[in-house]
Structure 1
Amino acid sequence: MNKKTLDVSVVIPAKNEEENVAPVIEAIVSALTDKVSFEIVYVDDGSDDQTYGELQRLIAQGIEQITPVKHRYSVGQSTAIHTGVQLAQGQLIVTLDADGQNDPADIPKLIDQAMLQPFGTDFCIAGFRKNRKDTSWKRFQSKIANKVRSTLLHDGTPDTGCGLKVFPKSTFLKLPYFNHMHRFLPALVRRLGGHIVVVEVNHLDRQHGVSKYNMLGRLGVGLIDMFGVMWLQRRVKIAEVVSVNQDN
């Protein structure tokens, strides 16, 4: 990547995270100021609390990097990410969860890895929460799910559920869009012939709010979507252009 032209859009999908808005955004600003030019595209996915009001308050206080977006009603995390990426101005996208468990202090080291990738290539820098701050039961379920997914999809990452990822906007826009696609970004990028880099990141305790996801429900849609991604993988064709004549 060319550092002189590097612009970063941090995309955050959120629903009912009013107490986490300020801490997460302030931590991002602290982590990225004087390192890269950046914006924070914060997508309020149909919240019925004061999530959007908190964004307006922070803008009024002088955090000019915020681009607030609000869905009229909730359409899910993948669609919220899709909205954010489409509206993003940066050529490099950073995603992280709104619940405060991803550590914004890790973003610069993922960006550093992105800058090592050849310009114009497809890639995904994926966070790996090696020491997760979850219950033993949730960690066990995630371990099994990650093992099954890795075995079936060969996606090159031990923790695709980590929200902290970095990839080119151009790469994301090439991916097939479907609900829950955010769970399979490394596999979908690999399907393009892209490169996956795994970076160990922190996992913080949730300070406010509650998880929006039920593990059994996640498992059900996860299996269906996994088979869909396998179907896509088997039908991809990657062309390797060895010559082109543009004189005619």
Structure 2
Amino acid sequence: MQSGTLSIVIAMHNEADNVDAVMDEAVAAFSAAFEGFNIIAIEDGSSDETWSKIEAAAQRHPQITAIQHPNRAGKSAALRTGFLAARTLWVATMDGDGQDDPQSVVDMASRIDLTSLDAPALVCGCRTNRTDGANRKWASKIGNGIRRAMLRDACPDTACGLKVIPRDLFLALPFFDSLHRYLPPLTRYLGFDQIYVDVVNRARISGETKYTNIGRAFAGFFDLMGVNWLMRRTHVPAKELLFTPRDEG
């Protein structure tokens, strides 16, 4: 069992049929792996029964904190809400559609010390067996190539929902709607080390993906332009200053 505590933020939108399986599996996996943990489940303006399912899961499992967005704000905003609610040094993110194996979070967290902020500052999951259709795989391959060329990003799967990152570092990054997709290049630009861990990607059992290839392409183009501009216009002190201890008095 790993010492230290970890918060795991799970954003959900219209995932009513997946909530029970995702939450029950996650609690079981994390209870066996971590000295302490808290799952922060964010319901992001769903039109189905996702919120009531999350509330019921929180009643079954005291390790779950349930938070609701009254209107849909997007995945990055939901993650930000979860990070603001977290009280641990490190926070993990995973998707709420059942495709992420919580054991992958355990494997990723084992690569760091949850009780300190030593390097690396970002652990990225990389899906080696993607279950998406061929069209999405090719779209991702092309998009990853363009992103790597423009942002000098070495991460092979920046869109994977599995990440482990210090709470304060995530909240120090400039916020925008697709922030969760650009954590690797932004943290690397700021001088932080990162490592990549192979993770399991499972087929979606129920529900539908929230993205289309065309939608990704249009949003991705403008996001790339924006992130490139942010990186060129962002100058911060030495990375150690991001973690200056706060005065508790």
**TM-score, normalization by structure 2:** 0.90
CA distance in 1, matches of 2:153, 2:131: 24
List aligned pairs for 1:102-141, cutoff 5 A.
Answer: 102-115=100-113, 119-121=117-119, 123-141=121-139
* Identity level (%): 36
Q: Which residue of 1 aligns with 2:52?
A: 53
Determine if contact 2:58/2:66 at 8 Å carries over to the other structure: no
CA distance in 2, matches of 1:167, 1:43: 18
Where does the alignment leave 5 or more consecutive residues of structure 1 unmatched?
243-248
CA distance in 2, matches of 1:120, 1:238: 19
Give the AA of the match of 1:45. D
CA distance in 2, matches of 1:52, 1:239: 41
Q: Which residue of 2 aligns with 1:65?
A: 63
Q: Structure 1 pair 240/104, CA: closer, same or farther in 2 (3 Å)?
A: closer
Q: CA deviation at 1:58?
A: 1.9
Q: Which residue of 2 aligns with 1:219?
A: 217
Q: Which residue of 2 aligns with 1:245?
A: none
Q: Which residue of 1 aligns with 2:245?
A: none
Determine if contact 1:114/1:167 at 8 Å carries over to the other structure: no
- Number of residue pairs aligned between Structure 1 and Structure 2: 238
Give the AA of the match of 2:124. A
Give the AA of the match of 2:18. N
RMSD of aligned residue pairs (Cα, Å): 2.0
CA distance in 2, matches of 1:32, 1:81: 19
Determine if contact 1:20/1:208 at 8 Å carries over to the other structure: yes
Q: CA deviation at 1:29?
A: 1.2
CA distance in 1, matches of 2:238, 2:39: 36
Determine if contact 1:156/1:196 at 8 Å carries over to the other structure: no
Q: Structure 1 pair 154/56, CA: closer, same or farther in 2 (3 Å)?
A: same
Q: Which residue of 1 aligns with 2:26?
A: 28
Corresponding residue to 1:144 among 142, 145, 149: 142
* 3-state SS of 1:18 partner: coil
CA distance in 2, matches of 1:42, 1:83: 10
Determine if contact 1:102/1:202 at 8 Å carries over to the other structure: yes
Q: Which residue of 2 aligns with 1:42?
A: 41
Q: CA deviation at 1:59?
A: 2.6
Determine if contact 2:99/2:202 at 8 Å carries over to the other structure: yes
Q: Which residue of 2 aligns with 1:232?
A: 230
Q: Structure 1 pair 48/191, CA: closer, same or farther in 2 (3 Å)?
A: same
Corresponding residue to 1:198 among 196, 199, 204: 196
Q: Which residue of 1 aligns with 2:77?
A: 79
Give the AA of the match of 1:131. N
Deviation string, structure 1 residues 58-105 (Cα, Å, up to 9, x no partner): 233x31111000001101111111111111122211101111111111
Q: Which residue of 1 aligns with 2:12?
A: 14
CA distance in 2, matches of 1:100, 1:202: 11
CA distance in 2, matches of 1:185, 1:67: 24
Determine if contact 2:12/2:42 at 8 Å carries over to the other structure: yes
Give the AA of the match of 1:47. S
Q: Which residue of 2 aligns with 1:246?
A: none
Determine if contact 2:7/2:38 at 8 Å carries over to the other structure: yes
* 3-state SS of 1:213 partner: coil
Indicate the larger mover: 112-121 or 51-60: 112-121
Where does the alignment leave 5 or more consecutive residues of structure 2 unmatched?
241-249
CA distance in 2, matches of 1:54, 1:152: 41
Indicate the larger mover: 188-197 or 201-210: 188-197
